[in-house]
């Protein structure tokens, strides 16, 4: 278990946040809200001001919103943080003992506390560099893909039938693109929705004209004259393709920590308070934390976790000592419907619809395992789904944690734009 000791807990301690996206900005806001008045620095490899990522595969890719709607916080709100934003200079190393970060420019920055909020990086397959092959992580990626979809004459092949691949496929289909969604799992997003929800989504995809190819793993994209030509699969025949989106998952952005001495196991290993070492913390997609309610470590890759974990860790940086015990939450917008998952649908041995009707496309279902409610799935019924999710709290939130300040009391940050309402993520969406 990572150490929870910290060198200083006074409000004048200096804090360096590595990563200036949703989790990093939320951490900075929560620090100031909790009374932190010391030096605050946010470091990020991207050159743009912080922006929201979940809409990139949905509203932004579809052209329904512009870049201005992605802005996480206004110029005035960022200025109100009284923080230094160091953009375009990526972290490449961390000295844990001195809490010193080295960047690509060779600059070193030390602080009393370092908060790691570097998120995730898309997984690649051979051939990603070919023309016509896209990944989707940044706004620039989305711009390139959107331009490609606007001039696309033939079919689009989306590799990866998890959250991102499913969102891209349905967005492209809504634009009139001929889409095939291929992935290693049998039904789209079964890892998040469980069997019942993933089969329901599969039916919606097919009704929208999306061809589904499940149970196949992409090996590589072959090219001709520098452009994509064929996708080869590990366990199936090759398919011709000249425009491909690779959405085969992501990995925590921890390569820069290899020599730091921190424990990294599919994310930065943290204790229940978000501490990875004395004065070193992690938040959001990159953090693997010990959930005291579930009695095990876990990493949540979604937008809601990025924001809510930041609230708790910021308080702990300043000495609050509150464990992070969330009910896992995820959402996605697909086919004009908000889909929500509270808890875990995948461990269910029984799923019961408790509100609405699947045939109407609006319902709430509860998943049970060994007679205990473990997950809630909402399809087009966000208020009812959230109410139903309260049944899950005893499983995920222990009494001691329930006595701690409620997350709602720690989450008074300025609201994000409506199109990027706190998700899941993450990125989920």
DSSP 231-288: EEETTEEEEE-SSEEE---EEES-GGGTTT---BSSSEE--TTSEEETTEEE-GGGEE
Dihedral angle, C-alpha 329, 250, 285, 78, nearest 10 ° = -110
Beta pairing class for 362-369 and 350-357:
antiparallel
**How confident is residue 150, by pLDDT bands cut at 50, 70 and 90?**
confident
**How confident is residue 336, by pLDDT bands cut at 50, 70 and 90?**
very high
Is 98 or 415 the better-scoring residue by pLDDT?
A: 98
Cα–Cα distance measured from residue 379 to residue 26, given in angstroms and rounded to the nearest whole number: 28
Cα–Cα distance measured from residue 410 to residue 33, given in angstroms and rounded to the nearest whole number: 9
Asked whether the predicted pLDDT for residue 415 surpasses 90, the reply is no
Q: What confidence tens digit (pLDDT) does each residue in 84-142 have?
A: 999 999 999 999 999 999 999 999 999 999 999 999 999 999 999 999 999 999 999 99
Q: What confidence tens digit (pLDDT) does each residue in 290-305 have?
A: 999 999 999 999 889 9
- Ranges of beta strands (E only) in 146-263 are 156-159, 179-183, 211-214, 218-224, 227-233, 236-240, 244-246, 250-252
User: Strand pairing partners for 143?
Assistant: none
The mean pLDDT value for 40-68 works out to 95
Q: What confidence tens digit (pLDDT) does each residue in 185-199 have?
A: 999 999 999 999 999
Cα–Cα distance measured from residue 149 to residue 37, given in angstroms and rounded to the nearest whole number: 47
Dihedral angle, C-alpha 216, 219, 223, 228, nearest 10 ° = 40
Burial class (CB within 10 angstroms; exposed 0-12, middle 13-18, buried 19+) of 415: exposed
Q: Mind giving me the DSSP string for 367-392?
A: EEETTEEEEEEEES-HHHHHHHHGGG
pTM above 0.85, yes or no: yes
Q: What is the structure's pLDDT at 15?
A: 98
Asked whether the predicted pLDDT for residue 183 surpasses 90, the reply is yes
Cα–Cα distance measured from residue 29 to residue 20, given in angstroms and rounded to the nearest whole number: 12
């Amino acid at each position: 278990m990572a150490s929870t000791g910290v060198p200083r807990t006074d409000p004048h301690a200096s804090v360096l946040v590595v990563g200036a996206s949703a989790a990093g900005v939320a951490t900075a806001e929560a620090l100031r809200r909790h009374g932190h008045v010391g030096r605050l620095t946010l470091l990020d490899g991207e050159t743009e001001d912080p922006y929201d990522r979940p809409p990139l595969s949905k509203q932004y890719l579809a052209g329904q919103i512009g870049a201005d709607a992605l802005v996480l916080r206004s110029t005035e709100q960022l200025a109100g943080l009284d923080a230094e934003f160091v953009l375009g200079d990526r972290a490449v190393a961390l000295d844990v003992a001195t809490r010193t970060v080295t960047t690509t420019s060779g600059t070193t920055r030390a602080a009393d506390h370092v908060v790691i909020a570097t998120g995730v990086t898309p997984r690649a397959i051979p051939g990603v560099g070919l023309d016509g092959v896209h990944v989707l992580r940044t706004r620039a990626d989305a711009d390139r893909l959107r331009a490609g979809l606007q001039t696309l004459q033939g079919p689009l092949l989306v590799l990866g039938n998890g959250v991102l691949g499913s969102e891209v496929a349905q967005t492209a289909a809504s634009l009139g693109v001929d889409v095939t969604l291929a992935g290693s799992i049998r039904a789209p997003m079964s890892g998040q929705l469980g069997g019942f929800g993933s089969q329901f989504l599969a039916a919606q995809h097919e009704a929208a004209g999306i061809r589904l190819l499940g149970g196949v793993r992409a090996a590589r994209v072959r090219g001709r004259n520098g452009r994509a030509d064929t996708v080869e699969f590990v366990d199936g025949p090759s398919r011709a393709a000249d425009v491909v989106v690779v959405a085969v998952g992501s990995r925590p952005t921890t390569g820069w920590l290899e020599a730091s001495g921190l424990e990294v196991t599919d994310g930065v290993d943290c204790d229940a308070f978000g501490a990875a070492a004395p004065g070193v913390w992690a938040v959001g997609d990159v953090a693997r934390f010990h959930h005291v309610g579930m009695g095990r470590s876990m990493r949540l890759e979604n937008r809601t976790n990025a924001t809510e974990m930041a609230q708790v860790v910021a308080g702990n940086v300043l000495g609050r000592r509150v464990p992070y015990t969330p009910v896992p939450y995820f959402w996605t917008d697909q086919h004009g419907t908000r889909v929500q998952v509270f808890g875990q649908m995948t461990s269910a041995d029984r799923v019961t619809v408790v509100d609405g009707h699947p045939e109407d496309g609006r319902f709430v279902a509860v998943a049970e395992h060994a007679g205990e409610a473990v997950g809630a799935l909402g399809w087009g019924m966000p208020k009812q789904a959230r109410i139903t999710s309260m049944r899950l709290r005893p499983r995920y939130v222990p009494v001691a944690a329930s006595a701690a300040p409620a997350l709602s009391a720690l989450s008074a940050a300025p609201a994000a734009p409506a199109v990027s309402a706190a998700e899941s993520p993450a990125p989920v969406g």
